[in-house]
């Protein structure tokens, strides 16, 4: 077993850090994250981490650059403080969608972020429902991919009584297949083209949704454009206007609330990886990933298998 377990919660999502600490039965180590008057971020860990097995819990959610840099500085502080091993637990991994170039002169943001984590000698990264499992290839260190799908599926309760699982775009097909297997339902997929940051276009779908109550699943809601486009497409194809949505990462940026409120969504199930306040007027149920993170941290610390908490692609 590695040195003593030390859990540090960055400022990005304190409620999740506190809930994970409770689930793990350890206190959060005291640390300070502040800004100097010129805007520089300053961090200091107030407890010994010498020879420790440190877990830094910080989603790189909006404001992404601040949260990412806080994480990098915390990792550096732990390393310089003599930690034996530093694991970044990043429930939501910002820049995950920048996983490849669409044109010749774009950056591959996910690779830049993963390299920055390697640059401060983070030994391992733990993430939840990454935009694509293929992202593993950009990380210079081992990546453990957890999935919140079983927790979301349990939380659905009677809302799991659906007739079809819908992937809102091609990227979500594997996820929809996992949901469909779990709920023993058929699945369908919407043809989506992104035409701008918050604008998408849909062109029909593959699969049968007529007369069905759909469960639309995705890795995240950001502007809500993808989910809104998918719902419009399934309604046009004859689905019943009684939709349940289940996503892991709830960013709800910009006018997501306004967009989604207009739609026949009975309930939106999300997790607390990001911790953004759900928009008013939308029926949102939040499932905590704290038990999942605590389970993964305890298994990693004790050198036990991650078994069924990791994503089986
Ligand atoms: C894209 O491929 C992702 O899986 C999500 O579908 C998308 O990023 C959600 O963003 P938005 O809510 O802005 O459409």
In tens, the pLDDT along 186-244 reads: 999 999 888 777 778 888 899 999 999 999 999 999 999 999 999 999 999 999 999 99
Spatial contact of 139 and 114, defined as CB atoms under 8 Å apart:
yes
Q: Are 218 and 226 in contact (CB under 8 A)?
A: yes
| pLDDT of res. 307 | 85
Cα 253 to chain centroid distance, Å, stands at 15
Rounded to 5 degrees, what are φ and ψ at 43? -125, 150
Pocket test for ligand 1, best of 97, 98, 133, 282 (most atoms within 8 A of CB): 97
Q: How many whole angstroms from 4 Cα to the centroid of ligand 1?
A: 39
Q: How much of the chain exceeds pLDDT 90, in percent?
A: 91
H/E stretch holding 144: strand 143-146
Tokens of 188: 């369908």
Q: Could you tell me how many residues make up the chain?
A: 313
Task: State how beta strands 187-194 and 200-206 pair.
Answer: antiparallel
Number of C-beta neighbours around residue 134 at 10 A = 11
Flag whether pLDDT at 269 surpasses 80.
yes
Which residue's alpha carbon is at the smallest distance from atom 6 of ligand 1? 226
The residues lining ligand 1, judged by C-beta closer than 6 Å to any ligand atom, are 97, 131, 168-169, 171-172, 198, 200, 218-226
- pLDDT for 282 equals 96
Nearest to 154 by CA among 287, 249, 266, 306: 287
pLDDT confidence band for 310 (50 / 70 / 90):
confident
Q: What is the pLDDT of residues 33-72, one digit of tens each?
A: 999 999 999 999 999 999 999 999 999 999 999 999 999 9
Q: Tell how far the Cα of 101 is from the centroid of ligand 1, in angstroms.
A: 17
User: What is the radius of gyration, based on Cα positions, of the chain?
Assistant: 20
* 121-125, 159-163, 197-201, 206-210: least confident range: 197-201
pTM of the model: 0.95
Which three-class secondary structure state does DSSP give residue 39? coil
Q: Residue 26 above 80 pLDDT?
A: yes
Q: Given this model, what pLDDT does residue 1 score?
A: 62
Residue in 121, 113, 120 with CA at minimum distance from that of residue 68: 113
Confidence of residue 311 (pLDDT cuts 50, 70, 90): confident
Counting atoms of ligand 1 from 1, which one is nearest the CA of 224? 12
> What residues act catalytically?
192
Give me the pLDDT at residue 313, please.
Answer: 61
Q: State residue 204's pLDDT score.
A: 87
Q: Where are the alpha helices (DSSP H) in the chain?
A: 14-24, 64-80, 109-119, 149-156, 173-183, 225-236, 256-261, 290-302
Of the candidate ranges 26-35, 87-96, 193-202, the one whose mean pLDDT is the lowest: 193-202
Whether residue 127 is predicted with pLDDT greater than 70 in this model: the reply is: yes
């Amino acid at each position: 077993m590695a040195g003593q377990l030390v859990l540090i919660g960055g400022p990005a999502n304190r409620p999740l850090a506190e809930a994970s600490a409770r689930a793990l039965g350890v206190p959060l180590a005291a640390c300070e994250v502040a800004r100097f008057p010129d805007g520089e971020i300053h961090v200091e860990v107030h407890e010994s981490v010498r020879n420790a097995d440190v877990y830094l819990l910080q989603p790189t959610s909006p404001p992404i650059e601040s949260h990412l840099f806080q994480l990098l500085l915390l990792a550096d502080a732990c390393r310089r403080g003599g930690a034996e091993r530093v694991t970044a637990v990043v429930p939501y991994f910002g820049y995950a969608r920048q996983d490849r170039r669409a044109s010749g002169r774009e950056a591959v943001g996910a690779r830049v972020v993963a390299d920055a984590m390697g640059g401060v000698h983070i030994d391992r990264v733990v993430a939840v429902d990454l935009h694509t499992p293929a992202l593993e290839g950009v990380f210079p260190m081992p990546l453990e991919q957890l999935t919140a799908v079983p927790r979301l599926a349990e939380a659905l309760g009677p809302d799991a009584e659906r007739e079809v699982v819908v992937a809102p775009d091609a990227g979500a097909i594997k996820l929809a297949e996992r949901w469909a297997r779990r709920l023993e339902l058929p699945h369908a997929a919407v043809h989506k083209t992104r035409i701008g940051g918050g604008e998408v276009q849909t062109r029909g779908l593959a699969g049968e949704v007529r007369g069905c109550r759909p469960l639309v699943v995705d890795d995240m809601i950001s502007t809500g454009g993808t989910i809104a486009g998918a719902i419009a497409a399934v309604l046009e194809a004859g689905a019943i206007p009684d939709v349940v949505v289940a996503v892991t990462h709830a960013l709800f940026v910009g006018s997501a609330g306004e967009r989604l409120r207009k739609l026949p969504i009975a309930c939106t199930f999300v997790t607390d990886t990001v911790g953004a306040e759900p928009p008013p007027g939308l029926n949102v149920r939040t499932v905590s990933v704290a038990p999942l993170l605590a389970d993964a941290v305890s298994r990693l610390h004790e050198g036990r298998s991650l078994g069924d908490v990791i994503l089986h692609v």
